[in-house]
Structure 1
Amino acid sequence: MRLKWETKLGIALLCSTAIIYGLKFLIIGDEGGSNTLTYIFNALGFLPVNVLLVTLILNQLLAMRSKREKLQKMNMVIGIFFSEVGATLLRHFSDADPNLDEFRGNLLIRDSWTDAEFDRIREQLRGTEHTVMIQRINLQDLRDFLIQNRDFLLRLLENPVLLEHATFTEALRAVFHLSEELESRNDISNLPETDIVHLTNDIRRVYDKLTPEWVEYMRYLKSHYPYLFSLAMRKNPFDEEANPVIAG
């Protein structure tokens, strides 16, 4: 098993301390006298311990800061995706879901929700296969919308910030694949039944993967940006009565 660099550094510095105090014992013994040489050895002996403590604490603080900055950048990119593409797709697909009423209530997120409620919804959505009636979707409009945003989706896939977010990257790949599938068909209005089934599966894959990512993004907004969460809640793609206008 390979040791982490922190462990190796700790062992090296503690060994240095042991060696210094060992030399002190060999040179001046353990008489406990208070002289300059004793102070020098004591200072040198404790120096590696100081270095170890400062290094580990500083490294931990820097790691926490770096992680927080990465999380902010990642969620900013995810937010742009849902604003430009994701929410529109979820709105179209949920409108074509004949079983939406069975779980719609679970997706009407409110500002009173706790982390436990978000966790419960995420757990329920895990492995869920939604139903989509492709006849309710205007494939030509969907095709045009995705082609229009193709460059945007490609730039997101190339963004290194998202590499550490595996589940969102998978959802993004599913969206890009659907875009390629639709773009590859010249006449989207006259497709055989077998191809309709294939496209239905592609749409359902996007629907299945995007929904839990949207829930997780809403949790992030609620915790960090209440004003953004307020607007996102009023534009909920699963809410038939969603309205960004705040009624008096």
Structure 2
Amino acid sequence: MPLTLRTWEVRLGIVLVASSAAIYTVKYLLLGDPENTYTYIFNALGFLPINVLLVTLILNQLLSIRAKRERLEKLNMVIGTFFSEAGTWLLAFISDRDSELPELREGLIVTEAWTPETFAGVCDRLQHRHARIAVDAADLQDLRRYLQGRRDFFLRLLENPALLEHESFTDLLRAVFHLTEELERRDDFAGLPASDVRHLTVDIERVYRLLAREWLAYMEYLQKNYPYLFSLAMRS
């Protein structure tokens, strides 16, 4: 703890104790009756542990809840920036190459009627399905070019301390970085062996799964807190 802060706290404590002593002294000098003064002091000391309980537990808990809400608000602003700058494009790019998506598309159209239970059910269903992504050399080339162009943006996101409390979103960024590195290690996608294509496909499917989960969570947040942003996201 800095010395200046410690000095400030000590000074405040001295002022408060001195003020209390002065008040009791004035009471004694003006009203007399020392027994009543002593009784009042002991009554106040008896209630002191309850005051400590109220301040340290209840008030501290309320302040913690408020601080958590503020951190969550900042975190969702970061996540919103991610989807605006890269996430929405990635989700559209990969989902267009999901051969089974047409069968699920109707059930994935988020509306204002969705409840928390609907979001949870869809998220669980997506996490347990095995997506079948089909990509060719041109797709891999486009994906590498896109991810390389946003490497600095992803690095800045990872440097944001707010993300330390959001493990699932951090996992998504790690998966995106891993996919970027894997793509950068290949020079000619047209001549890749089948094993390499399959490896890259698995990496893309991992990003796809994590991306879909974060997108649903973000849509639920917008639906609850920012209807106008939710409406824009749905139209997009």
TM-score by length of 2: 0.81
Can you give the 5+ residue segments of structure 1 that lack an aligned partner in the other structure? 1-33, 236-248
TM superposition shift of 1:191:
1.5
Q: Secondary structure at the match of 1:131?
A: coil
Q: In structure 2, what is the equivalent of residue 198 of structure 1?
A: 199
TM superposition shift of 1:39:
2.0
Q: Would you identify which runs of 4 or more consecutive aligned residues in structure 1 move more than 6 Å?
A: none
**Aligned equivalents of 2:226 and 2:143: distance in 1?**
31
Higher helix share: 2
Can you give the 5+ residue segments of structure 2 that lack an aligned partner in the other structure? 1-34
Mapped pair 1:130 → 2:156? no
Does the 8 Å CA contact 1:75/1:217 hold for their aligned counterparts?
yes
Mapped pair 1:217 → 2:227? no
Q: Figure out how many residues of one structure are paired with residues of the other and give that number.
A: 202
Does the 8 Å CA contact 2:137/2:189 hold for their aligned counterparts?
no
Q: Secondary structure at the match of 1:134?
A: coil
**One-letter amino acid matched to 1:69:** E
Does the 8 Å CA contact 2:87/2:211 hold for their aligned counterparts?
yes
TM superposition shift of 1:105:
1.7
Q: In structure 1, what is the equivalent of residue 170 of structure 2?
A: 169
Q: In structure 2, what is the equivalent of residue 86 of structure 1?
A: 87
Q: In structure 2, what is the equivalent of residue 117 of structure 1?
A: 118
Q: Secondary structure at the match of 1:54?
A: helix
**Aligned equivalents of 1:194 and 1:36: distance in 2?**
87
**Aligned equivalents of 2:180 and 2:222: distance in 1?**
28
**Aligned equivalents of 2:234 and 2:42: distance in 1?**
64
CA deviation profile, 1:67-107 (whole Å, cap 9, x unmatched): 00110111111111111111111101111011002221221
Q: Secondary structure at the match of 1:35?
A: helix
**One-letter amino acid matched to 1:232:** A
**Aligned equivalents of 2:138 and 2:165: distance in 1?**
33
**Aligned equivalents of 2:107 and 2:164: distance in 1?**
29
**One-letter amino acid matched to 2:227:** P
Does the 8 Å CA contact 1:171/1:209 hold for their aligned counterparts?
yes
**Aligned equivalents of 1:141 and 1:128: distance in 2?**
26
Q: Secondary structure at the match of 2:130?
A: coil
**Aligned equivalents of 2:150 and 2:160: distance in 1?**
15
The range that moved more, 42-51 or 62-71, is 42-51
Q: In structure 2, what is the equivalent of residue 105 of structure 1?
A: 106
Q: In structure 1, what is the equivalent of residue 161 of structure 2?
A: 160
**One-letter amino acid matched to 2:203:** D
What CA RMSD, in Å, does the superposition of the two structures yield over aligned residues? Answer: 1.6
CA deviation profile, 1:148-197 (whole Å, cap 9, x unmatched): 00111112122221111111111111111111111122223322222111
Question: % of aligned pairs identical?
Answer: 58
TM superposition shift of 1:128:
2.5
TM superposition shift of 1:137:
6.1
TM-score by length of 1: 0.77
TM superposition shift of 1:131:
1.0
TM superposition shift of 1:36:
2.9
**Aligned equivalents of 1:231 and 1:88: distance in 2?**
15
Q: In structure 2, what is the equivalent of residue 226 of structure 1?
A: 227
